[in-house]
Amino acid sequence: MTDRNIRLESAEKRAVEDQEVEIVERKGIGHPDSICDGIAESVSRALSNLYLERVGKVLHYNTDETQLVAGTAAPAFGGGEVIEPIYLLIVGRATKEYDDQKLPVDATALRAARDYLKENLPELDVGTDVIVDVKLGEGSGDLQDVFGEETQEVPMANDTSFGVGHAPLTETEQIVLETERALNGARYGSDHPELGQDIKIMGKREGDVIDVTVAAAMVDAYIDDMDDYIAAVDDVRAYVTELASEYTDREVNVEVNTADDYEEGSIYLTTTGTSAEQGDDGSVGRGNRANGLITPNRPMSMEATSGKNPVNHIGKIYNLLSTHIAETVVAEVDGIRDLQVRLLSQIGRPIDEPHVADAKVITDDGVTVTDIEDEVVAIIDRELADVTDITRRTIEGELSTF
Amino acid sequence: MTDRNIRLESAEKRAVEDQEVEIVERKGIGHPDSICDGIAESVSRALSNLYLERVGKVLHYNTDETQLVAGTAAPAFGGGEVIEPIYLLIVGRATKEYDDQKLPVDATALRAARDYLKENLPELDVGTDVIVDVKLGEGSGDLQDVFGEETQEVPMANDTSFGVGHAPLTETEQIVLETERALNGARYGSDHPELGQDIKIMGKREGDVIDVTVAAAMVDAYIDDMDDYIAAVDDVRAYVTELASEYTDREVNVEVNTADDYEEGSIYLTTTGTSAEQGDDGSVGRGNRANGLITPNRPMSMEATSGKNPVNHIGKIYNLLSTHIAETVVAEVDGIRDLQVRLLSQIGRPIDEPHVADAKVITDDGVTVTDIEDEVVAIIDRELADVTDITRRTIEGELSTF
Amino acid sequence: MTDRNIRLESAEKRAVEDQEVEIVERKGIGHPDSICDGIAESVSRALSNLYLERVGKVLHYNTDETQLVAGTAAPAFGGGEVIEPIYLLIVGRATKEYDDQKLPVDATALRAARDYLKENLPELDVGTDVIVDVKLGEGSGDLQDVFGEETQEVPMANDTSFGVGHAPLTETEQIVLETERALNGARYGSDHPELGQDIKIMGKREGDVIDVTVAAAMVDAYIDDMDDYIAAVDDVRAYVTELASEYTDREVNVEVNTADDYEEGSIYLTTTGTSAEQGDDGSVGRGNRANGLITPNRPMSMEATSGKNPVNHIGKIYNLLSTHIAETVVAEVDGIRDLQVRLLSQIGRPIDEPHVADAKVITDDGVTVTDIEDEVVAIIDRELADVTDITRRTIEGELSTF
Amino acid sequence: MTDRNIRLESAEKRAVEDQEVEIVERKGIGHPDSICDGIAESVSRALSNLYLERVGKVLHYNTDETQLVAGTAAPAFGGGEVIEPIYLLIVGRATKEYDDQKLPVDATALRAARDYLKENLPELDVGTDVIVDVKLGEGSGDLQDVFGEETQEVPMANDTSFGVGHAPLTETEQIVLETERALNGARYGSDHPELGQDIKIMGKREGDVIDVTVAAAMVDAYIDDMDDYIAAVDDVRAYVTELASEYTDREVNVEVNTADDYEEGSIYLTTTGTSAEQGDDGSVGRGNRANGLITPNRPMSMEATSGKNPVNHIGKIYNLLSTHIAETVVAEVDGIRDLQVRLLSQIGRPIDEPHVADAKVITDDGVTVTDIEDEVVAIIDRELADVTDITRRTIEGELSTF
C-alpha cells in the first residue's frame, strides 16, 4: 500500500474467460452511436489543439453530447439516394474568448466533424446527406485548465468519479474487437467498398462455443443485384470465420445479417454505409466503453468518455488510465489470468492521488496474489504518477475512446 | 432446466454487500440526464396511449434520444433569472399515419414533455426558461407492433439484446435510492421549496463505513442570504443522516455540496432547481439504469431503457423484467443473499422464450443452490410467461425506467 | 425651404382616389407574415423596455427577422388538431451584456413572443401547436444607442435610407383597413369566436366599383357542420358589406372565401385560426407596410418596419414618421386631396435633419400649392423636430408597424 | 381592348427620369437578403428540374422563405476567420412522394444551396463558415401542377395577385444595376479578389446630379494593410465613376464605404466577402424586386419572386412577365419614354387571361397614346399568350428574379 492508496486483492470469482456464459458487443465506427462518439472525440481533440495553438494551454470545454437524428434513404442496387438528410447536432461547452481574443470554437468544431465524417464514412456526402449543426455554450467561466505547452501540472479532481479497466481481453472480446477493426480497416474494408462502416458485432460464448453475429450495412453503389449482395455477405462470413480462428481454438459460428429475408427482398442495403440514413438515431456514450467494447460480464463505467476534456475530466481520464494500467500490468507481469483496475477520485486532491486505486486479480494456477503484489503495485504507482501522459496521448489522437 | 432455457447457478463470488469497496450513484430527477430520461419515457407513454386510443394498438415508435443543451442563468439570493434558455430536442421515430389517419405525434410529444416538466421541475418556466423542440422521423415503416387493447400477443424479438437485474439492494444502494426519493418527494421536498430537483447522490462504502455525498441545487427564490443557504444545506445533511440510519447500522458520514466555498461565495445556487440552467448538458441513457441506480459493482446493461417502445424493444423489456424477476424471487424465496438475473433474447423467437435466462445466486449460510432451485426456476418461468404485463405496466406509468 | 431641407411640390398626377384602377391589400394579424411582424415588433418593444429598466437606455438590437415554418393540421367540424407544430424562429441581434451585467434577452424575447401569441391567436396552444425558438446574436458591439430615460438626444443616421407616408387614405384603403380591424376586433371578432385571425382583405376598385375579397380562416371548434360554416361566411359577407357603406357611396361587392367548393367539401377551415397551421410559411416585412396596407398604386418602402430598433434604425423611424407627418398635415390643413411625404436620411447627420424631406401634394380644386405651402412646411418642420417622440410612442406600443 | 382585357392609358404624370428626386437601390449578390433570394431561387430551379426528371412534370412546391442568421467573424489584414458560423435555414413546402416514389427534395435543396454558395461566394467555406439547414413541409397535398415535358398547359390562377414591370430603366437605374453587375462580374470582380460580393449600391438623383453610394465588403485575405485597403476603395471609386459615364451625361459623384473611419481603423473588412459573417441577418423578398432594383419612385409589388413555384405562382409569373412585356414593348415600339405594365390575376381563370392588363405610358414629345396603342396592345397580347415561356425560362435559369 503506497501513498496513492493502491490496493490489490484477489477477485474471488472466476475469470470471465472461465464463466459459463459471456456476452460481448462492439458497435463499429459507422454505427450511429459510434459516429457520435467519434465526432465528439474528434471535436474535443480539435478544441484542445486550438487552445494549445492560440493560448498555449487547454481551456475549459466539454463536447460529449453530439446528437444524431436519423435521415431517410432509398437505397437501390447500383446506387440509391438519401431522401432526408441526417441531422447532427454538436452540443457542449467551450471557452470562446480568452484575454480579449475570440476563439473560433464553432468553426473548429464544424471542421473537425466534417473532416471526421469524410475520413470515416466516405460514402456520406457531408452537406447533403448530413447536416452538421452546433450549439456550444459558454459553460461556467471560472474554470480554467492548466495543461499547457510547458507546464503539465497535475490538476485537481473536481468531481467524485471513477474509471474501470480490464486486461487481458478474453478470446471472445478479442474476436469481437478485431473483427470490427479488420472489417473497417486495411485488412478487409479497404478492398471491399461494398461493405459499409455500420458494423455491429455481438459475441456470445456459451461454454466453448462462440457465436459471432455480424450486422453489416452494405453499400448499394457497389452491389448490382441480389446475387452480389449474397456474395458480399458470404465474403464477410468467410473472412470473419477465418479471422476468429486466429484468436481461439473454440468452436466459432458466424452469422451475418441474420435478419435478412431474401425472398421478400428485405436486406441490409444502404446508400451511405450507415443505418443513420434510415431511422437509427444515435448519441454519445451509449455504445462502446473506453476499451472499445460493451462487456456486461465486467463492471463498466456509465461515463461517456468521448468528447470530454482530457485535461480535467476525471471520469474520462480514469477510464482511459485504468484500462491502460490493466494492460500494462498484464503485459509486464506474468501469471495474471484476469485483472480489473478501478480508480476512484477524491474532490480537491490531485488526480494522480486517487481516493482508492483498487485492483482485483485472478492469478494463474500456481501463482498467488502475494507473489505479484509488489510488482503490480509498483506499476500502478508509476502509471498514476504519469497521469498527464494520458492527456497528451488523447489530445494527439493516440488513444481511442470508444 | 425448462423450455425457457432457465439456468440457475452459484455466483461463486462474494455478495456486493460483502465486498470491501462499493460504489453507488443516483442522479436525481432534476439532473440534466434524468430530465432527458424522464421526458423520453413520458413521451413514450404518451405515444403508446395515443396509439391505443386512436387505432387500438401500439404502433412503431422509439423516443429514446432526447438531447438537452444547457442554458445560462444568473441566480441571486431572493430570486435570479435565466439568461439563455435551455434547449431540449426530442428525437426519435414514430408512426405518423395509419390507415389514412394522421396521428398528432409531434404535438403529443410536446405536450407530454411540457406536462412532465411542469410537474417535476416546478420552478422551470416552460417556454421561456426552456425551449422544447421535436424531430420525430418516420422510421422503417414496415414494423408494426401488436400490443392491442384485446390481443396482447407475445411479440417476437427483433434484436439480440439482453437485460440484467439484481436483488436485494445493498444497504448502500437503498440509502442512495431512498435519499433521492425522499428529498425529491413528499417526505422532504414538499415542505422544502428551497431544495431544487437536481440532486446527485454518491454512496461509497469502504468496509463498514458509508460515505454519502449529496450535491443538491438550491433554489434562489427561497434563499434570502448566505445564512439561509447554510441552513438549507444543514437541513439536508441532518435529514439524510437520519434517513440513512433507517437502512443500516454501519457508520454513515453525510456530506452536502462539498464543492461550496462560502468565503468566495461559490455555492450551488440555481434559479430553476437544475444545473441544466447553467452549463450542464444532458441526454437519455447516460445516467441511472432501469433500477434507478448506477452500480459499477454489478453488471449493467448499456441499453437506454427510457423512451424505448415497451411493446417490442427487447432491451427495455428485458431490463425491466429481469429487475422485476430478481425482486420477485427474493421476495418469495428465503435464503438468498444476492441474486442476479440476466435475460438474453434470440432474434425471431417470442420474447417470453429468451435464448438464455441466466440467474446467479449467492445463498445465505446454510442454504444451497439446490435447496431453492426449483422454486426460483418456477418463479422465473411464471414471470417470463407474463412478460406482456411489463409492457402494460410501463404504459400505465407503474414502472420507473431510471 | 427651411434648414431641414423640406420641399413641397405638386405631385403632377391624379390622386389615387381618382385613378381608374386601384388595388389595396391587408394581411390580417393572423396571417403568417403578420404573425412574424407582430412578434418581431413585440420582441422589439420588450427589449427596449428591458434595456430601459435595467440600464436606463436602449442598447443596440435588431429583431426584424422572425421566420415562421408552417405546421400540419387536421381541422374537423367541432374541433380538429394540429399534427405537426408550427416552428417559429426569432432571429436578430441584441446586446447581452452591459457593464458586466448579463441581460436576459433570449428569455425576454421568448416571453414577449409567447404573450403576443396568447393574446392575438387565442386558439393556438403555445408549446404544442407552435414551437418558439430564438437565435439572437451579439451584433457589432461598438454601437450603443442613446435613447435614455432622461436624455432623449437625437441620434445620428447610420445608414442611407428613406421612408414614405401618405394621407388621406382612399375609400378603398379605408375599407380594407377597417374591415380587417373590425373583423379581428371588438366590433365583430369578440362575438364571433368561429372567425379566425388569419383574414386577408383584397380591395380592387375599377372606376366606381369596389370589389372586396375576404379570405377568412374559420375555427373548427365553433363550426359544427357545413351549414354552420356557410352561415359563418354569410355573416362575414353581410357585416363587411354593411361596414363598407360607412366609407363609400360607390358600389361595393363583397366576396368571402371565394376558393371554397362546398360540393367537394373544400373550405377554409382551421383548428387554430391561421393558415400557418397548414402549409403557409411567413416572415417579417413581407406583408403590410408601416401604415397597415399594401398599396401598389403608391410608392412604398421595402424596409421591414417591425422588429427594428426604434431609437436608431432610420428606415423604421422615417417610415413611421413620414406616415405620421402626412396624417398630421392632412388633419390640420384644409384643401389637400392627396399628400405623400418622403424622408431621405443622410449618414452622419442628426435624424431630425434629413437629406431631403420631400412632400408631393395634390390639392383640392381651387387650392394651390402656394396657398398651403407655409403651413405644410411648418408642420413638417415641427414634427421632424419631435422625431424622438416616434421612438417613445413605438416603445410604448402606441404606434402600429404593420 | 382585346379578350385579354388589355388597357393602355396615359400615365398623366412625369416620367421618373423627369422627376426632381429619384432614389434607386440594389443589394448585390453577396448581401444577406440577396443570398437568401439567390438560394431560394436556386433551390426552386433544382426542385423543378428534379420533378421534371423524375416524374415528367413540376409538382407542387414553394421555397421562398430562406432565413439567414448572421455569424460572427474576426477579419484581419492578410486573412481573418469566422468565429461563429452563419446559419441558413431553407424553409418551404415540397411534394416528397409521387406515385409511391420518394423524391429527395431535402437533399436536392441542400445541394442546390451549397452549389450556389460555392459559385457565388467563393470565400465562404460551406460547412464551417455557414451551416445550411432545411425544413421543407409537405404543404396542402391536393395541388398538382401541370407544367410537364410534353404538355405545357396554361394553369389557372389560384390566387388574386398582381405583378408590375417597367421600361426603360432610367439612367440612375441603369447605373445602379450595371455597377453591381460589373463589380461582381467579369468586368471587374474577376480580376479583383479583394472585392467581396456584398456590394450595396444606392443611387440618388436630384435634378441633374447623381450621387452613387457604394458599400463594398473587402476580403481580408487579399488586403495586407490599410494602404492596400485604401487603394482597393479608390479602385472601386474610379471604376464606378468611369462606368457611370457610359450611362449618363449628368454629373455623377461616387462615394465608396462612406462609413469608414481610417483613423479609428473602422473599415469595411470581411473574411468571407459578406456582412452576413458579422451581424447582418437576411431573408427572402426583402431586397431587390424582380427587375433587380428597389425603386420607390415606381409602384412595386411586395411579392417575393425568388423561390416561388414558376409554374403556378401567379405573383412570381406576373412580376416576371410584366417586366418582360414592358421591356419588349419598349424595344419594339418607338416613342415611349416610360411604360408601366401591371397584371392582375383572377382566381379560377387561365393565367394568360388576367383580370386586367393595365399599361400606363408616357410618350415622347410628338407621339400620342393613340399612335402606338394598337402596336402595344398586340405585343402585350402576344406575350400574355406565351406566358408559359416565362416558366420555362425561369426553370432554365435564364431569368433573374432579384
One-letter identity of residue C384: L
D281 pLDDT higher than 90: yes
Contacts of D281 in chain C (CB under 8 A): 62, 64-65, 91-93
Name residue, grid cell 459471456. Answer: A22
At residue C146 the predicted structure's pLDDT band, cuts being 50, 70 and 90, is low
Of A302, A342, A355, the CB nearest to B294: A302
Cα–Cα dist A331/A325, whole Å: 10
Q: Convert the pLDDT of each residue in A81-114 to its tens digit.
A: 999 999 999 999 999 999 889 999 999 999 999 9
A1 pLDDT higher than 50: no
Residue of B nearest to C114 (CA): B127
| ipTM summary value | 0.92
Number of domains in chain B: 3
B91 vs A67: CB contact, 8 Å cut-off?
yes
Contacts of B258 in chain A (CB under 8 A): 347
Best mutation site among A83, A87, A101 for testing chain D: the one with the most D CBs within 10 Å? A83
Name residue, grid cell 427572402. Answer: D284
D264 pLDDT higher than 80: yes
Cα–Cα dist C10/C19, whole Å: 17
Within a domain: residue B21?
no
What DSSP element (H or E) covers A268?
A: none
Query: Are residues D118 and D246 located together in one domain of the fold?
Result: no
At residue A151 the predicted structure's pLDDT band, cuts being 50, 70 and 90, is low
Q: Which chains touch C (3 or more CB pairs under 8 A)?
A: B, D
* Average pLDDT of chain C to the nearest whole number: 93
Check residue C304 and give left, alpha or beta (phi > 0: left; psi -120 to 50: alpha). beta
Are the CB atoms for D289 and D25 separated by under 8 Å? Answer: no
DSSP A365-383: TT--HHHHHHHHHHHHHHH
C368 pLDDT higher than 80: yes
Q: Convert the pLDDT of each residue in C186-209 to its tens digit.
A: 889 989 999 999 999 999 999 999
A241: CB partners within 8 A, 6+ apart:
A252, A254
Domain end call among B81, B112, B146: B146
Q: What is the CATH number of the domain that holds C65?
A: 3.30.300.10
Q: Which residues, listed in sequence order, are joined to residue B143 by a DSSP beta bridge? A: none
> What is the reported pLDDT for A243?
97
Within a domain: residue B90?
yes
Grid coordinates of B147: 400490443
Within a domain: residue B155?
no
One-letter identity of residue B240: V
Q: Convert the pLDDT of each residue in A246-286 to its tens digit.
A: 999 999 999 999 889 999 999 999 999 999 999 899 999 99
Query: Are residues C232 and C219 located together in one domain of the fold?
Result: yes
Q: What percent of chain A has pLDDT over 90?
A: 83
Q: What percent of chain D has pLDDT over 70?
A: 96
At residue D155 the predicted structure's pLDDT band, cuts being 50, 70 and 90, is confident
Name residue, grid cell 447581452. Answer: C96
A70 vs B20: CB contact, 8 Å cut-off?
no
At residue C124 the predicted structure's pLDDT band, cuts being 50, 70 and 90, is very high
Check residue C389 and give left, alpha or beta (phi > 0: left; psi -120 to 50: alpha). alpha
Q: Convert the pLDDT of each residue in D76-114 to its tens digit.
A: 999 999 999 999 999 999 999 998 899 999 999 999 999
- Check whether C137 is labelled as a binding-site residue: yes
B137 vs A206: CB contact, 8 Å cut-off?
no
DSSP A313-336: -HHHHHHHHHHHHHHHHHHHSSSE
One-letter identity of residue A313: H
Within a domain: residue D27?
no
DSSP summary character for residue D175: H
Give just the sign of the alpha carbon dihedral D260, D265, D269, D270.
Answer: negative
Are the CB atoms for B25 and B177 separated by under 8 Å? Answer: no
What DSSP element (H or E) covers A67?
A: strand A67-69
Crossing angle of the two packed helices C314-332 and C388-395, in degrees rounded to 10: 100
B74 vs C111: CB contact, 8 Å cut-off?
no
Q: What are phi and psi of B318, to 5 degrees?
A: -70, -30
Query: Are residues C165 and C297 located together in one domain of the fold?
Result: yes
At residue D173 the predicted structure's pLDDT band, cuts being 50, 70 and 90, is very high
> What is the reported pLDDT for A66?
96
DSSP D251-275: EEEEEE-TT-BTTTTB--EESSSSG
Cβ contact A–B (≥3 pairs, < 8 Å): yes
A103 vs D83: CB contact, 8 Å cut-off?
yes
- Check whether A141 is labelled as a binding-site residue: yes
Within a domain: residue A126?
yes
Q: Convert the pLDDT of each residue in B277-288 to its tens digit.
A: 998 999 999 999
At residue D334, the 3 state secondary structure works out as coil
Within a domain: residue C402?
no
D342 vs C278: CB contact, 8 Å cut-off?
no
Contacts of C281 in chain D (CB under 8 A): 62, 64-65, 91-93
Weakly modelled stretches of chain B, pLDDT under 50? 1-2, 141-142
| D104 min Cα distance to partner chain A (Å) | 4
DSSP summary character for residue A234: H
Grid coordinates of B1: 432446466
Contacts of C21 in chain D (CB under 8 A): 7, 342, 344, 356, 358
Residue (of C145, C39, C103, C58) closest to C395 by Cα position: C58
Query: Are residues C165 and C291 located together in one domain of the fold?
Result: yes
DSSP summary character for residue D220: G
> What is the reported pLDDT for D1?
41
Residue (of A230, A48, A197) closest to A118 by Cα position: A197
A137 vs B84: CB contact, 8 Å cut-off?
yes
Cβ contact B–C (≥3 pairs, < 8 Å): yes
Query: Are residues D98 and D113 located together in one domain of the fold?
Result: yes
Q: Convert the pLDDT of each residue in C266-305 to its tens digit.
A: 999 999 999 999 989 999 999 999 999 999 899 999 889 9
Residue of C nearest to B107 (CA): C128
Within a domain: residue A130?
yes
| B119 min Cα distance to partner chain A (Å) | 26
Identify each DSSP E strand in A95-129 by its residue range.
97-98, 101-102
Contacts of B156 in chain A (CB under 8 A): none
Burial class from Cβ neighbours inside 10 Å (0-12, 13-18, 19+) for residue C146 reads: middle
Residue (of A165, A152, A186, A218) closest to A340 by Cα position: A165
Using only the alpha carbons of chain D, give its radius of gyration.
22
Best mutation site among C110, C114, C129 for testing chain B: the one with the most B CBs within 10 Å? C110
* Average pLDDT of chain D to the nearest whole number: 93
Q: Convert the pLDDT of each residue in C227-276 to its tens digit.
A: 999 999 999 999 999 999 999 999 999 999 988 999 999 999 999 999 99
Domain end call among B225, B251, B278: B278
> What is the reported pLDDT for D152?
64
Cα–Cα dist A62/A52, whole Å: 16
Within a domain: residue A154?
no
Crossing angle of the two packed helices B105-120 and B32-55, in degrees rounded to 10: 130
Grid coordinates of A245: 480462428
Best mutation site among D42, D47, D83, D138 for testing chain A: the one with the most A CBs within 10 Å? D83
Best mutation site among D204, D281, D297, D301 for testing chain C: the one with the most C CBs within 10 Å? D281
Contacts of D104 in chain A (CB under 8 A): 74, 81-83
Q: Convert the pLDDT of each residue in B372-388 to its tens digit.
A: 999 999 999 999 999 99
Crossing angle of the two packed helices C105-120 and C32-55, in degrees rounded to 10: 130
Cβ contact D–C (≥3 pairs, < 8 Å): yes
A134 vs D131: CB contact, 8 Å cut-off?
yes
Of C21, C62, C137, the CB nearest to D69: C137
Of D12, D137, D162, the CB nearest to C14: D12
> What is the reported pLDDT for D193?
97
Contacts of B304 in chain A (CB under 8 A): 286
A344 vs B84: CB contact, 8 Å cut-off?
no
* Per-residue b or e along C341-378, where b marks 16 or more CB atoms closer than 10 Å to that residue's CB: bbbbbbbeeebbbbbbbbbbbbbeeebebeebbeebbe
D146 pLDDT higher than 80: no
D147 pLDDT higher than 90: no
Instruction: Count the helix, strand and coil residues of chain A and give each as a percent rounded to the nearest 5.
Output: 30, 30, 40
DSSP summary character for residue A153: P
Triad D340, D346, D350: Cα angle to 5°: 100
Query: Are residues B175 and B165 located together in one domain of the fold?
Result: no
Of D297, D300, D347, the CB nearest to C259: D347
Burial class from Cβ neighbours inside 10 Å (0-12, 13-18, 19+) for residue D389 reads: middle
Of C103, C107, C126, the CB nearest to B85: C107
* Average pLDDT of chain A to the nearest whole number: 93
Are the CB atoms for D346 and D339 separated by under 8 Å? Answer: no
| D246 min Cα distance to partner chain C (Å) | 25
Query: Are residues D133 and D185 located together in one domain of the fold?
Result: no
Are the CB atoms for C181 and C85 separated by under 8 Å? Answer: no
Query: Are residues A368 and A326 located together in one domain of the fold?
Result: yes
C134: CB partners within 8 A, 6+ apart:
B85, B131, C89, C90, C91, C106, C109, C110, C113
Residue (of C141, C138, C139, C144) closest to C55 by Cα position: C144
Contacts of B289 in chain A (CB under 8 A): 302
| Domain that includes residue B246, residue range | 171-278
Triad D239, D33, C197: Cα angle to 5°: 150
D163 pLDDT higher than 50: yes
A83 vs D103: CB contact, 8 Å cut-off?
yes
Are the CB atoms for C33 and C282 separated by under 8 Å? Answer: yes
D342 vs C296: CB contact, 8 Å cut-off?
yes
Residue (of B129, B9, B62, B17) closest to B316 by Cα position: B62
Cβ contact B–D (≥3 pairs, < 8 Å): no
What DSSP element (H or E) covers B244?
A: helix B226-244
Q: Convert the pLDDT of each residue in A311-362 to its tens digit.
A: 989 999 999 999 999 999 999 999 999 999 999 888 778 999 998 898 999 9
Whole-number Cα distances in Å, B373 to A103, A200, B2, B340, B363 = 64, 36, 12, 14, 11
Cα–Cα dist A278/A220, whole Å: 14
A135 vs B204: CB contact, 8 Å cut-off?
no
Are the CB atoms for A351 and A147 separated by under 8 Å? Answer: no
Q: What is the CATH number of the domain that holds C314?
A: 3.30.300.280
Cβ contact A–C (≥3 pairs, < 8 Å): no
Query: Are residues B247 and B309 located together in one domain of the fold?
Result: no
Best mutation site among A91, A106, A269, A291 for testing chain B: the one with the most B CBs within 10 Å? A91
Q: What is the CATH number of the domain that holds B241?
A: 3.30.300.340
Half-sphere exposure of D213 (CA within 13 A, CB side): 17
Residue ranges at the known binding site of B = 137-142
Query: Are residues B165 and B305 located together in one domain of the fold?
Result: yes
Query: Are residues B374 and B329 located together in one domain of the fold?
Result: yes
Domain end call among D278, D296, D312: D278
At residue C126 the predicted structure's pLDDT band, cuts being 50, 70 and 90, is very high
Are the CB atoms for D335 and D364 separated by under 8 Å? Answer: yes
Cα–Cα dist D265/D28, whole Å: 25
- Chains A–D, number of C-beta pairs less than 8 Å apart: 74
Best mutation site among A84, A100, A115 for testing chain D: the one with the most D CBs within 10 Å? A84
Query: Are residues A55 and A127 located together in one domain of the fold?
Result: yes
Contacts of A110 in chain D (CB under 8 A): 85, 127-128, 131
Residues found in chain D: 402
Interface of D with A (CB under 8 A): 72, 74, 81-85, 87, 96, 102-107, 110-111, 114, 126-129, 131-134
